[in-house]
Structure formats: C-alpha cells, structure tokens
Amino acid sequence: MFSSLDHDSIMILVATPCLLLLYFVIKTLKERLFPDPQLPPGSLGWPLLGETLQFLPTRRSPSPERFVSDRMKKYNPQVFKTSLFGETVAVFCGPAGNKFLFSNENKLVNVWWPTSVKKLMKSSLANVVGDEAQRLRKIFMTSVDRDALKSYIDRMDLVAQNHIRTHWEGKEQVKVHPTAMLYTFELSCRLFASIDDPIHISKLAHHFDIFRKGVIHFPIYIPGTTFYRASKSGDALKEEIRLVARQRRAALDKKMESHRKDLLSHLLVTVDESGKLLSESEIVDNMLMLLTVSHESTTLAMTCVIKYLAEMPEVYEMVLREQLDIAKSKEAGELLKWEDIQKMKYSWRVVSVVLRMIPPISGSFRQAIVDFTYAGYTIPKGWKLYWSPNTTTKDPAHFPNAEDFDPSRYEGAGPAPYTHVPFGGGPRMCLGYEYVRPNILVFLHNIVKRFKWDLLIPGEKVPYNPMPAPSHGLPIRIQPHQSSA
Ligand code: HEM
C-alpha cells in the first residue's frame, strides 16, 4: 500500500508541473501565433522569457529609451504589448497614455510593484491600494508638505556643509555618485529619524547598500541570491528602525520629545480619520520604504546635475551667479531658509532639464482591475500596465531639439501637461516631490559656491541597472574658488 501511495504521489508530483508547463506553453504559443486583433499590437517574445532579454540590454545601453521608442514606431505610438519578467505588459505612451493611467487610479487601474518590493516591505504603501493607500498617503503628506519642509532647510544646510567638509574639501578628485549616495543616506537618517551618530549611520548604510540591490530583483529566497541577501539586510534594518521607534515612543510618552521632531515622531503620533494610530510594522516598513524610494533617485539627480554643469560651463556660470547672490545676501554663518530656496529659480530649471534628460525613475507599473478599452484596443483585467517618462521627454513633438540642454523650456507654465512627468502623476504621484526640490538645491548651493570641476571621464555614460548610475561613478577633478564662501 505504501509503495502504491508513493508511486501515486510521485506521479502527481511529476505530472502537475508538467501539465501546468504544457498548458502555459500552448497558451503562450497560441497568443504568439494567432494574436487577438482586439489586443494592442506588439510581441510577447519567447515563452516564459518574453522580451526580457531584449529589454535588459537596452537599459544598459547609451539609449535606454530605445526599447519603448522602437516599439512605438513599429507597433503603435499610443500603446503596445510586450512580456517582461513573466508578465504580459501594455506600455502606455505619450501624454495621452500618461494622463489615462494617472487619472484612472482606483477606477480602471491600481498601482502595482514587482513581487520583490512587496515581499521586502510588506506593510508599506507599496502594498496597498484604494482607501488604504489614501489613508497612508494622508499621514505621510503632512510630514513632507511645505510647512514641515520649511523647518528642514537649515538642517539640510548643516548636513550639506558637514558632508562637504568631510568628503570634498582638501581633495583634488571626488567620485560623485558614491559620495552623493553617502550624503543622501545620511540626510535621510538625520531628517527622517534624527539618527545623528556617524557610527550608527554607517552600520545602517552597510545594510542598506545590500538591501537596495535586491529591491527590484527576481524574488528567489535561496542563500547566495541577491534577493536573499537583501531580505536579510532588510530584517536587520527593520530591527534597527524598530528599536529607534520604541525609544522614541517612550520619549514621546514621557513628553521628553516634540512630536514635530522628525518624520518618525510624526508617524508615531498621527492618527487616521478613524482615530487609529499606525501599527509598529506599518511604521517600520514605511520608514524603510521612504528611505529606499528617496535614496537612489535623489542621488542620481544630484550626480547628473554635477555632470551636466561640468559639460556646460555657460550653465554653470549662471547657476553660480544665482547661488552667489543668495550667499552674499546672508550674514556669515547664517543658514539657508525656505525663502532662499524660492530664489533658486534658474537652478531649479537646470535640475528640471536634468530630470528630463535622465529621469531617475524610468517608469512604473499599474495593473488593470477591470477589462477596459484604450486607443481602440481591449486591455484585459490583470494585465500589467507600464508608463515611462521616456515616451515624451525625448520626443521632438513635445520637446523640439530634444537633446538641447535648455532651461528656458521650464520658464512660465513650462512644458505641456503630461509631457514632463519625472515624478509620475495622479493619486499615486511621488510623495517626495516637494521634498526633492530643497534637498537638491541646498546640496547644489553648497557645492557650486565652493568649487568648479571638470569630468575625469568626459562623456561618461549613465546606463540603467535597474536605476540609472554613471558607469564609473562620475569621478571629477575639483578646484576650490579663490574666495570660497
Ligand atoms: C529626484 C528624486 C525623485 C524622483 C525622480 C521620484 C520619482 C518617483 C516616481 C516616478 C514615482 C512613481 C509615481 C507613479 O507611479 O505615478 C515615485 C513614487 C514615490 N516616491 Fe518618489 N521620486 C523622487 C524622490 C522621492 C523622495 C525624496 C521621496 C520621499 C521623501 C519619495 C517618495 C515616494 C513615494 C512614497 C512613492 C510611492 C507613492 C505611492 O505609491 O503612492 N520620492 N517617485
């Protein structure tokens, strides 16, 4: 009897995956050989692999936008289908595609993140949709809104000055990208959780460096894989955040700390509309999510501003003039204020061009929650939908002479709606949008007023993997100004 049971079990164990595989192969072959004309045009590539192998190399190439732009030309400039990482994906293109996805959140579509993100930050905003997402966003918004930001500027200035003293002054060369990584991480630790001890920050930075590499990755949890290492480092980071949160909770209970101290205090004391506080795991996972989403994007934007300023001396001179005027208007040792950031108009236009030229986030996903029609095609429920800032920002129809670095495009009302979307849009638009501006401008102010620089690797490429990063870290030679402020 045992042997016959064993035999049956073995048969089931072998046959089930084989049948599933067979079903999957037949289904995908049918979709490829006899495509439904109601569905968007495009290729689903190879069974299982889809077009992932075509997608990945273009992202590491000098023109990462080509995967999308080639298919817009070949199939349809509004929408095409592909298959990536085992998912059937409709890519929505141009301002109309952006507008459609951004304005149909919770009606036709919901935000969707890859499984690795969901697993690593289970109770975070990345894992919730609809009312639950709105509840979390409302709580976060008040900690990165204008009023909160006003109180952050002087601290940002202090951290920038300390960073430059340690990592730039007295040096002949700086590798900008890894150095800016240290800066943005330290700034987040200090501003989000008031973690000021450099030893504590470098311990967290060590774990974070391993963690961030596995956030968008195949979620294979086997010792030795990138995802496994990221999970382990994620656990260590969560434990550290949990300890800091518990200490803070105790200090708040004893009225030894102000609830306005930082983002962590804000999350610990703010209740939602039904009067409920966030749970400990929600606080921990969301703190980790905010550290993650804010880190590489901001670092990359800062790094690319440095790159373009080296390549365009006339733009550098204009930024320098603006920043020196602000520096001269201040008393010796006086820190930057919110009003100073408002005066950095030309500098922000320069940052906007950089975000257009190299968007730090090359796109994000939604998921169809019902069947619907777009541009005359059916989009089935369950399909993943992708939008990318690259479908408009290099298109001469929206940005004539798109390769020209022209800050004047951002004067007045700026580019047409839905053509410049580095922060996404709609109810799931980047939550840190207001925070990014002072963050980058305070850093830029402190660098530009002290140094001029040139690139040690002229024309260094910035491939995506999955986030963009200069291939050699952007080494530069720096020269302090004669009368450094
Ligand atoms: C240059 C820097 C940044 C860029 C280019 C950027 C861009 C983006 C983009 C494109 C999205 C997806 C939006 C969508 O799908 O519609 C996003 C989401 C998000 N970003 Fe940013 N981001 C930046 C910095 C930050 C910072 C500093 C923070 C936090 C302080 C932040 C917090 C978030 C959050 C929480 C989300 C998820 C929002 C949600 O799902 O509801 N980002 N960001």
Is residue 230 over pLDDT 80? yes
pLDDT of 49 over the 90 cut: no
Instruction: Report the pLDDT value the prediction gives residue 406, as an integer from 0 to 100.
Output: 97
pTM of the full structure: 0.91
Question: Given pLDDT bands bounded at 50, 70 and 90, which one contains residue 4?
Answer: low
**Mean pLDDT across 189-203:** 95
Q: Which atom of ligand 1 is nearest to the CA of 295?
A: 27
Ligand 1 atom, smallest distance to 101 CA? 16
Q: How many CB atoms lie within 10 A of CB 339?
A: 11
CA distance 361 to 98: 14
Q: What percent of the chain has pLDDT over 70?
A: 96
Residue of 447 and 86 predicted with greater confidence: 447
Is the C-beta atom of 347 inside 6 A of ligand 1? Answer: no
**Known binding site for heme: residues?**
430
For ligand 1, the distance from its centroid to the CA atom of residue 431, given in whole angstroms, is 5
Q: Which DSSP string corresponds to 319-358? A: HHHHHHHHHHTS-TTPPP-HHHHHT-HHHHHHHHHHHHHS
Nearest by Cα to 292 from 133, 157, 466: 466
pLDDT at residue 10 tops 80:
no
Of 144 and 406, the structure prediction assigns the larger pLDDT to 406
Residue having the nearest C-alpha atom to atom 39 of ligand 1:
428
Give residue 5's pLDDT: 59
CA distances from 73 to 36, 263, 445 (A): 20, 45, 42
Residue 90 token pair: 């409709």
The pLDDT of residue 69 is above 50: yes
Backbone phi and psi for residue 148, each to the nearest 5 degrees, phi listed first: -65, -40
Is residue 126 assigned to a domain?
yes
Looking at residue 102, its pLDDT comes to 98
**Ligand 1 atom index nearest CA of 363:** 10
Write out pLDDT tens, residues 130-143: 999 999 999 998 87
Taking all residues of the chain, what is their mean pLDDT, rounded to a whole number? 92
Q: In CATH, what number is assigned to the domain containing residue 432?
A: 1.10.630.10
The string of pLDDT tens digits covering residues 253-311 is 888 777 667 899 999 999 888 889 999 999 999 999 999 999 999 999 999 999 999 99
Among residues 314, 298, 289, which one has the least CA distance to residue 405?
314
Spacing, Cα 39 to ligand 1 middle (Å): 31
User: What is the model's pLDDT at position 2?
Assistant: 46
Using the mean position of ligand 1's atoms as its centre, give its distance from the Cα of residue 432 in Å. 6
- Tokens read off for 158: 């202090």
> Coil, helix or strand for 44?
coil
Kindly tell me if the per-residue pLDDT of 1 is higher than 50.
Answer: no
What's the 411 CA to ligand 1 centre distance in angstroms? 24
Determine contact, residues 395/342, Cβ cutoff 8 Å.
no
362 falls within a domain: yes
Residue 55: predicted pLDDT: 83
Mean pLDDT of 236-254: 95
Q: Output the CA 424–ligand 1 centroid distance in Å.
A: 8
pLDDT of 144 = 77
Any idea how long the chain is? 485
Higher pLDDT, 338 or 217: 338
Q: 366 lies in a domain?
A: yes
In a domain, 19, yes or no: no
Average pLDDT over residues 220-243: 96
360 lines ligand 1 (CB under 6 A): yes
Q: Which domain holds residue 195?
A: 38-480
In this predicted model, what pLDDT tens digit does every residue of 154-167 receive, in sequence order?
999 999 999 999 99
Closest atom, ligand 1, to C-alpha of 144:
30
Q: Could you tell me if residue 33 is inside a domain?
A: no
**Ligand 1 contact via 427 beta carbon (within 6 Å):** no
Q: Which two tokens stand for residue 219?
A: 């979620």
Q: Whose CA is nearest to atom 30 of ligand 1?
A: 432
Provide the pLDDT for residue 483: 65
Q: Is residue 1 part of a domain?
A: no
Domains of the chain: total? 1
Q: Is residue 26 part of a domain?
A: no
Q: What is the DSSP letter of 79?
A: E
Q: Is residue 28 part of a domain?
A: no
